[in-house]
Amino acid sequence: MGRPTVSFTNSTGAKINVAYMRRDFDCREACGDIWDVLGWINLDPGETETRSNQTNNRWFYYYAESDNGAIWSGVFSAEVTNTVFQKCKCQVSEGYRTVGFDVLDTDVYPGVNFI
């Protein structure tokens, strides 16, 4: 079991925008997959925000971009757009781009600290 919340902390000197992916069984009904992709959390330098891990799933995924061009990514692909969004991973939408999400083991870590 994972944690009920996940924190995102910006320890850089630039603004960071974070998208995240969490398990959501409503998506299974919508299109056959259990992952919900949401964006964006806007973090100023030094800021921390928390998001719900509503199913207490151990695995939580994130992708982040900073105003200075830094990117935090991984190998788990999902679509994002440049405006605020929420969509099931299995839904294909126009105007979205595919990026790689990194994985967070919430059984070990309470969140992500971007440095």
Domain ranges across the chain: 5-108
Q: What is the pLDDT of residues 76-103, one digit of tens each?
A: 999 999 999 999 999 988 999 999 999 9
Q: Could you tell me where the DSSP H helices lie in the chain?
A: 25-31
> Which pLDDT does position 55 carry in this prediction?
94
Report how far residue 12's alpha carbon sits from residue 23's, in angstroms, rounded to the nearest whole number.
28
3-class DSSP state of 26 = helix
Could you tell me the CA-to-CA distances from 108 to 3, 47, 59, 60 in Å, in that order?
Answer: 9, 22, 10, 12
Q: 91: which 2 tokens?
A: 């839904």
pLDDT digits (tens, 9 = 90+) for 17-62: 999 999 999 999 889 899 999 999 999 999 999 999 999 999 999 9
Mean residue pLDDT of the chain comes to 96
Q: Give the pLDDT confidence score for residue 93 in this predicted structure.
A: 87
